[in-house]
Amino acid sequence: MALQVLPINSIFGAEISNIDLAQPATAETREQLNKLFAEHAVLVFRNQYLEPAQFVETGRIFGELMEQQVKQFILPDHPLVGINSTRDLPRKNGKLQVRGENYHTDHSNYLEPPKATSLLAVEIPSYGGDTQFVDVRKAYDDLSDNMKKKIATLRSKHIYESSRSPRSFAKLTAEEHAAIPNVIQPIVIKHPISARPALYMNTGRMEGIEGMEPEDGFALIDQLYKHATQSKYEYRHQWRVGDLVIWDNRSVMHQANADYDPEEYRYLYRIMLKGQQLEPAFT
Ligand SMILES: [Fe+2]
């Protein structure tokens, strides 16, 4: 059975059908999926009602799994599988405090940030809770030549929680916190496979720009962030039960939405794939 590939929009993303991820993938299919992933950056598979172990095997098509950072949100029998459940979320004034609101790339404060993250929808509320993606390769391409020159070799320190973070992060145990590094990342990275330049941003974790006054650094981050998160760079995924979505953290940013009824149940499995140290696009 040949895979069917339906591009999601003219920039990025593809819906892949004619595949049952509960079955082991052939070497040929694995190769094809990896090629599609490198090109489209977000792959959507519908109607995949996988057990956690099958979800792990699907992740292995694309790379090696990495451990989940926050140990309180994992499946006890499958520690590589994180859980994203409304029942675990704190509330403030009746509103759920959803992890991942505001655009970001996962664990950008790691020396080797995850190459990919994948979610599998187990229970979905009747409305809301979409995940949005923006293509930061295309956003980079569209910058003016002046801006490209200005940011070509700039770098930013990424820490667990920026002093200007628009969102708050899960509180960690002292042990978890001690294990989390701070790292200097390029603002423009070179994709490890395609070599395409891309903006590498995470306003929750970026602590200014190296060599710039804090106000100037944060102002530039805001400017780039506003540019990169325009709706023309966006794909908004409306979840259905059985959806498996995998995205490339070096090519897109993503954000969660807390716009669903907090009394309804929303439950997804999450896995992450090991990445590598990021190289600047320009030196
Ligand atoms: Fe995230």
Instruction: Name which of 86, 82, 52, 77 is nearest 66 in CA terms.
Output: 82
Question: How close is the Cα of 106 to the center of ligand 1, in Å?
Answer: 5
Residue 280 CA to ligand 1 center (angstroms) comes to 22
Could you tell me the distance, in angstroms and rounded to a whole number, from the CA of residue 151 to the centre of ligand 1? 25
Rounded distance from Cα 82 to ligand 1 centre (Å): 12
Is residue 75 in a domain? yes
- 30-82 pLDDT per residue, tens: 999 999 999 999 999 999 999 999 999 999 999 999 998 777 789 999 999 99
Range list of β-strands (E), the chain: 4-7, 14-17, 42-45, 65-66, 74-75, 78-85, 91-92, 95-96, 116-123, 131-135, 155-158, 183-186, 188-190, 197-199, 234-237, 244-248, 252-256, 267-273, 279-280
Distance 117 CA to ligand 1 centre (A): 8
d(CA 104, CA 231): 15
CA gap 231, 212 in Å, rounded: 29
pLDDT score of 218: 97
Alpha carbon of 127 to ligand 1 centroid (Å): 20
Q: What spacing in Å lies between the alpha carbon of 253 and ligand 1's midpoint?
A: 8
Does residue 282 lie in a domain region?
no
DSSP code per residue over 226-271: HHHT-GGGEEEEPP-TT-EEEEETTTEEEEE---S-TTS--EEEEE
Domain count, the chain: 1
pLDDT grade for 170, boundaries at 50, 70 and 90: confident
In a domain, 283, yes or no: no
Q: Which residues contact 146 (CB under 8 A, 6 or more apart)?
A: none
* Residue 105 domain flag: yes
The backbone torsions φ and ψ at residue 174, rounded to the nearest 5 degrees and listed phi first, read -55, -40
The reply to whether 97 falls in a domain is yes
Assess if residue 281 is contained within a domain. no
CATH number at residue 19: 3.60.130.10
Q: Is residue 111 part of a domain?
A: yes
Q: What is the C-alpha to C-alpha distance for residues 181 and 160, in angstroms, rounded to an integer?
A: 8
What's the average model confidence in pLDDT over 270-276? 97
Distance in Å, CA 1 to ligand 1 centroid: 33
Report, as an integer, the average pLDDT of 188-200. 96
Cα–Cα distance measured from residue 106 to residue 109, given in angstroms and rounded to the nearest whole number: 9
Burial of 141 (0-12, 13-18, 19+ CB in 10 A): middle
Distance 146 CA to ligand 1 centre (A): 31
Q: How far is the CA of 250 from the centre of ligand 1 (A)?
A: 12
End-to-end CA, the chain: 45
Q: What is the pLDDT of residue 101?
A: 79
The tokens for 14 are 């593809």
Domain that residue 259 falls in: 4-276
Model confidence at 129, in pLDDT bands (50, 70, 90)?
A: very high
State the distance from the centre of ligand 1 to the C-alpha of 28, rounded, in angstroms. 30
Question: Tokens 């309804």 belong to which residue?
Answer: 264
CA-wise closest residue to 230 among 43, 99, 42, 103: 103
Instruction: Give the whole-angstrom CA distance, residue 35 versus residue 27.
Output: 12
CA nearest to 66, candidates 23, 33, 114 = 114
C-alpha 135 to ligand 1 mean position (Å): 15
224: in domain: yes
pLDDT band for position 87 (50/70/90)? Answer: confident
| Res. 89: pLDDT tops 90 | no
